[in-house]
Amino acid sequence: MELSILFLTVLGLVSGSVAAFPDPLALTGGSFFVHDPSLVQRASDEKYFLFTTHDLGGILTATNLAGPWTSVGSILSGESSINLPGRDDIWAPDVTLHNGVYYAYYSVSTFGSQNSAIGLATSTSMDPGTWTDHGSVFQSKSGDLYNAIDPNLVFDEKGSPVLTFGSFWSNLFQINLGSNLQSVSSSPVQVSFNSTSPQPEEGSFVWKHGSSYYLFFSSGLCCGFNASALPPAGNEYKVFVGRSSSAHGPFLDKNGKDLRNTGGTLVLASHGNVYAPGGQAIFTDSKSKKDIFVYHYVPVNSPQPYNDAYSALGLNAIDWSSGWPVLTNV
């Protein structure tokens, strides 16, 4: 969610060496806003539920991945029970099914602040009006090494719950959760760090494929673009990844560089109509049996070009055949 800048040269990437990327799936129906998306298929009927920043955790649904998508409500029916500024405008919901219950971790904060919290709401159906807000799971304060936003739940190789989070400051961290998925059972441990000021990493997402765990993160300027004064090419949002045999890391990029030492392999960057892609997640589509890469991007071709108020949903399939995620057409 925070604004950030990353220079491609820091990661050994140079203009002209970046591979071409496939266009996102063409969507049907009217346009809609989405940012920091989480996409889940309901187990009972394979209906798609899309969750977004703002609107108290906005919910959109569809019966086909390509849409049309319909806004149906929000995760929270009112302000979060967390008593912090931003409780009326939650960010970056991350939704996971576990033992018949959907867990939605969300962020409460304001731009540029470390006075932040990760909250939790649960539901057995994901329908609006069925969510119970459990309040704060973990918080940060001014002066901490980390910022408690952009949460992501994963289960490690022992089946234990782990929450990855962070934005700016010292970047990405993990905490272990108790078996109730509401309590914290460890201190934060850093899993990724970009030493380039202003330490621009956020939006972590851990996904297991085969015997490996992949840590994805977003880096670059996410929003607030001015079409007449865009940042230097490559300084806008993009997605990187590292890989480990453990959900706890260490995560290394394709060249063997530790993510804690400004490592990262590029997964997705601006191309064509797609500008500043990030806020990524993954789910396995039960209909196509494909892993689907989910993200937001700023459409170049919109009523107000480069305006993130028109932030859109991006969907691509993933080819894992090389051992690394390569995006393809859905």
Residue 164: count other Cβ atoms within 10 Å of its Cβ. Answer: 25
Q: Which residue has the tokens 């394709």?
A: 254
Tokens found for residue 88 = 């009326």
For the four alpha carbons of 250, 219, 41 and 320, in that order, the dihedral sign comes to negative
Q: CA-CA-CA-CA torsion for 323, 237, 138, 111, nearest 10 degrees?
A: 180
23 carries an active-site annotation: no
For the four alpha carbons of 302, 306, 312 and 313, in that order, the dihedral sign comes to positive
The CA distances from residue 158 to 139, 246, 252, in Å, are 26, 10, 21
Instruction: Round to whole Å and give the CA distance between 314 and 294.
Output: 6
Contact 104, 51 (CB under 8 A): yes
Q: Which of 36, 201, 253, 308 is catalytic?
A: 36
Q: Which of 2, 150, 202, 236 is catalytic?
A: 202
319 carries an active-site annotation: no
Q: Which residue has the tokens 């969507």?
A: 27
Listed in sequence order, the residues at least 6 apart from 262 whose beta carbon sits closer than 8 Å to its beta carbon are 10, 11, 193, 194, 195, 196
- Give the residue among 312, 328, 284 at the shortest CA–CA distance from 36: 312
Backbone torsions φ then ψ of 299, nearest 5 degrees: -70, 130
Listed in sequence order, the residues at least 6 apart from 163 whose beta carbon sits closer than 8 Å to its beta carbon are 105, 118, 137, 138, 151, 152, 153, 174, 175, 176, 177, 184
Tokens found for residue 218 = 């977003």
Return the active site residues: 36, 202
